[in-house]
Structure 1
Amino acid sequence: MHYYLLKRFITALPTLWLLISLVFLLSRMLPGSFSSARILDDNAGFYSKANAESREKAYRDYLHKTSQDLPLFYFSINAAPEPDSLNLKYSESDRQQLKRLAWHYGSQNIVSEYFNNLQQVENQLSSNKKQRLQNELMVLHTSISSHDLVSSAQKVAEASSTTAASALEKKTIQLVKQQNPYSFMLPALHWHGLKNQYHQWLSQLLQGNFGYSYRNNRAVTEVLAEAIGNTWWLISISICLAFIIALELSLLMIQHPHSRWKKFTLSILFTLDSIPLFVLALLLLVLFASPFFLQLFPVYGMGFYGSEPNNIFYAIANQAPFMVLPIVCLVLSVLPYLTNQIYRALSDAAQANYTKTARAKGLSFRKIVRTHILRNALLPIITLLSDMLPSLAAGAIIVETIFAIPGIGSMAITAVQSRDYPVIVAIVLVIAIFKVLSNLLADFCYALADPRIRYSTS
């Protein structure tokens, strides 16, 4: 059995590596970034007080510090005129304009020189001249029309007598004259070697380092360690309570198959199953945490607004009221499906011939359940629970967001909103590892429940 579990774990590693690699690559390919939204924004943030040149320098320093100025993978395949990933030093809007110009005119070198001259001109212009040439500068930043580019570059050169403005005019004319619009049809393979974002990330990951958060520059392991405990207890207590309640309800419905109590229970479960999770959470808040109804529990948070207490019993007593409504919400959300599946498994075992024989011998219902029904229905129940554990993580995201619980779910929402990709990748990795471990736990429980599996796989 130990060999079987080890084999299952080793075979799951390539799947885990492929999943987390895809998440990492896709997260880096999404448009926009935390740095461009916070550093280059003119209207908000600390860097908005600085001029454009200072913000651009801070942006490039930040990209270099976080290795975002490196190519994404070991190689890249793109159109021949398209700038390679080294152009990540530009902001998102500038990168899009560079690609459009390169695809239209067919020369990434001239396009890069043209854009560098344009930035030099903007840095040398005074505020009054920038205001006066605002339309021309906007055209140079957004248009790909040859007539508009040449006309705007000439107007900028006439209004400014600097050498950068003259160089911009010459470079714009050169860009238009050397246009090769069909070069985008040729593919280009760029080999970047080991100096790329994926290689650095994978090397750090194998050393147990998830990187640093873009939002607050803290180690991702520290951020996860602070949040994973609340989510773990929330999911663990919820699945245990849901399983116990579902098992008891299923046994009662099997023992009294034609009672009114069974019809009433099924109607309640059907009603719960039709209520979305976020609606159920809001209903619980309104009914049991609102001063207009029954204000029995706190509304949100975990009870700590300063330093956390050192006494574990005091911490549990302080956190328990805050966890009641989230746990009840998760239990009620999975209870209908869990009860239905357990009832079907137990009902099939109760209709088997060995159960009928045990009843004919005069055994009590409790003994029949313990020795015959439960043991033969364990395998589908174990499969159900192993699939239920990871699915509760998705429900925990909604519950933690509504109840403001500092767990994995609320941290994932914050990371997505702030484009904190290292935290997002780490959360996906934790959930994937949790899924693999739940499958291994299910295999172990299979072997304990059925000796035939133990003997055939050991």
Structure 2
Amino acid sequence: MGRYILKRLLLIVPTLLGITVVTFAIIQLAPGNPALLKVQMSRQGGVGDQAVAQAIVEQTRKLYGLDKPLPVRYWIWLKRVVTLDFGNSYKDHRPVMDKILEVLPVTLQLSVLSIFLSYLIAIPIGVYSAVRQDSLWDRAATIVLFVLYSLPNFWVATLLIVYLGGGDYLDLFPVYGLSSFDAERWPFWRWLADRLWHLVLPVGCLTYGGLASLSRYMRAGMIEVIRQDYILTARAKGLSEKAVVFKHALRNSVIPIVTFLAFLLPAMIGGSVIVESIFSVPGMGKLGFEAVLSRDYPVIMAIATISALLTLVGMLLSDILYVLVDPRISFERL
């Protein structure tokens, strides 16, 4: 196991390096740049002379190192990233790592909670749908889950705000931020309840899509397993349906959705960009969205790199869980 994990960790390095090369090139070659944006802001402030504007562009390009060739810029960035130095933000000149560390726990909190709820709800729905295959419940659940999967989260977030967050209908949940005013001074349990109350809507928006996918994977895996010969043998021996399902069938049918974890984590992080922006949650998604609008290259690269690293780690964890769940698979075969 240790040898396999070491090998996978070594493979993460060139994979992450390739991702950063492509991402860096796309960002640097995209239309628009911080220098032109700064000129536009200066003109709004009253600077209209063309020569002054051009001087601002040149100074900004030299300040940010944009006057150097693209490979040189990447090499400078890579040498700094090795020491966990992502540079300073173009927007407020704060260290990017400090800004990331402030918001990363919020995004991880949303993602982990959403993944936990997705698995917690999807597994029972998938199992029950498989056991009651083609029943009224199974067909109704299939329709509802496919509808949920097809709904974009920004549209669902808007509906939740209108109907449940103080729009024209019910005022049940807060629609922005993570806590109420002055909540830091409250007792712990009151603060925790307030935090969870603020997380209901954003976590709900991040959960329903993964829930729909996971339940379908769980149903398909369960149907395949309960048709196996050893399940028929267990039933022939007189075991109860509960024992057959939960003791013999469930463990093997869980395998497909365990591997799905590697894809669910980056999907949650990607979805947090829209959800955090709509609900004004100070997370990494909202920070990335604002960085794109302001052409803040160091912040964009830092978020892309960390997201890629979390995705690769998630894939490694899914492989490890795959072996732990299925004793027929060994690390030597992977």
Does the TM-score normalized on the shorter chain lie above 0.5? yes
User: What residue in structure 1 maps to residue 204 of structure 2?
Assistant: 328
Aligned partners of 2:66 and 2:180: how far apart in 1? 36
1:444/1:55 Cα in 2 relative to 1: closer, same or farther (>3 Å)?
same
Q: What does 1:28-427 align with in structure 2 at a 5 Å threshold?
A: 28-39=28-39, 41=41, 43-45=43-45, 48-49=46-47, 55-73=53-71, 196-303=72-179, 313=189, 315-427=191-303
Q: Which amino acid aligns with 2:241?
A: F
Aligned partners of 1:245 and 1:235: how far apart in 2? 15
1:219/1:307 Cα in 2 relative to 1: closer, same or farther (>3 Å)?
farther
SS at match of 1:396: helix
1:291/1:198 Cα in 2 relative to 1: closer, same or farther (>3 Å)?
closer
Q: Which amino acid aligns with 2:195?
A: Q
Residue 444 of structure 1 is aligned with which of 320, 329, 333? 320
From the CA coordinates, give the structure whose radius of gyration is larger: 1
Q: Residues 34 and 215 of structure 1 are in contact (CA less than 8 Å); yes or no, is this contact kept in structure 2?
A: no
Aligned partners of 1:9 and 1:309: how far apart in 2? 43
Q: Which amino acid aligns with 1:364?
A: S
Query: Aligned pair 1:17/2:24, yes or no?
Result: no
> Cα RMSD between the aligned structures?
2.4
Q: What runs of 5+ residues in structure 2 fail to find an aligned partner? A: none
Q: Which amino acid aligns with 2:276?
A: E
For each residue in 1:1-42, what CA deviation from the matched residue of structure 2 results, as whole angstroms up to 9, or x when unmatched? 110111112112111101112211221222321232123555
Aligned partners of 2:89 and 2:184: how far apart in 1? 23
For each residue in 1:237-261, what CA deviation from the matched residue of structure 2 results, as whole angstroms up to 9, or x when unmatched? 1111111111111122233335432
Q: Residues 224 and 408 of structure 1 are in contact (CA less than 8 Å); yes or no, is this contact kept in structure 2?
A: yes
Q: Residues 127 and 218 of structure 2 are in contact (CA less than 8 Å); yes or no, is this contact kept in structure 1?
A: no
Q: Residues 5 and 443 of structure 1 are in contact (CA less than 8 Å); yes or no, is this contact kept in structure 2?
A: no
- In percent, how many aligned pairs have the same letter? 33
Q: What runs of 5+ residues in structure 1 fail to find an aligned partner? A: 74-195
SS at match of 2:69: coil
Aligned partners of 1:24 and 1:353: how far apart in 2? 53
Aligned partners of 2:213 and 2:143: how far apart in 1? 13
Offset at 1:358? 0.9
Aligned partners of 2:34 and 2:331: how far apart in 1? 54
Higher relative contact order (CA 8 A, sep 6+): 2
1:276/1:3 Cα in 2 relative to 1: closer, same or farther (>3 Å)?
same
Q: Residues 111 and 265 of structure 2 are in contact (CA less than 8 Å); yes or no, is this contact kept in structure 1?
A: yes
For each residue in 1:189-238, what CA deviation from the matched residue of structure 2 results, as whole angstroms up to 9, or x when unmatched? xxxxxxx3222111101111011111111111111111111111111111
Matched residue count: 334
TM-score w.r.t. structure 1 length?
0.68
